[in-house]
Amino acid sequence: MSGKFEEKIKKYRTAPFDARFPNTNQTRNCYQNYLDYHRCNKVLSAKKQKTTPCEWYRRVYKSLCPIAWVQKWDDQRQSGTFAGRI
């Protein structure tokens, strides 16, 4: 299973179509993957497991999100003012 996942990551070019976000405004797509990456990290680290499966979310949000948004959210997470639930 991890073999197929690693293959998928290796063949990654850009974020694929996600039927959950069918419209032109992809803000939610970016935000959801950002949240999912950090939630995935948090949960797996807490269970002392490898965080490799979280890589997918990181790739997607890196493809989609404006860098300024990511920087702003990272700063907010650091200062404890991030509004999303992670």
Partner 1 sequence: MAHQAHAMLYSVDPSPSPLTGAVAALLMTSGLAISMHFHTTTLMSLGLVLLLLTMYQSSRDIIREGTFQGHHTPPVQKGLRYGMILFITSEVFFFLGFFSAFYHSSLAPTPELGGCSPPTGITTLNPFEVPLLNTAVLLASGVTVTSAHHSIMEGQRKQAIQSLTLTILLGFYFTALQAMEYYEAPFTIADGVYGSTFFVATGFHGLHVIIGSTFFAICLLRQAQYHFTSDHHFGFEAAASYSHSCLMSYDSSFTSLFTDEAS
Residue among 19 and 83 whose Cβ is closer to partner 1 = 83
Place of tokens 């803000």: 27
Task: Output the smallest distance, CB 67 to partner 1, in A.
Answer: 15
Contact in structure between 56 and 10 (CB atoms under 8 Å): no
Task: Output the smallest distance, CB 85 to partner 1, in A.
Answer: 7
Alpha helices for 21-86 (secondary structure H):
27-46, 55-64, 67-79
Residue among 57 and 73 whose Cβ is closer to partner 1 = 73
Task: Output the smallest distance, CB 76 to partner 1, in A.
Answer: 10
Residue type for 58, please? R
DSSP result, 16-38: PP-TT--SS--HHHHHHHHHHHH
Residue among 27 and 52 whose Cβ is closer to partner 1 = 27
- What residues make contact with partner 1 under the rule CB under 8 A? 27-28, 31-32, 35, 69, 73, 83-85
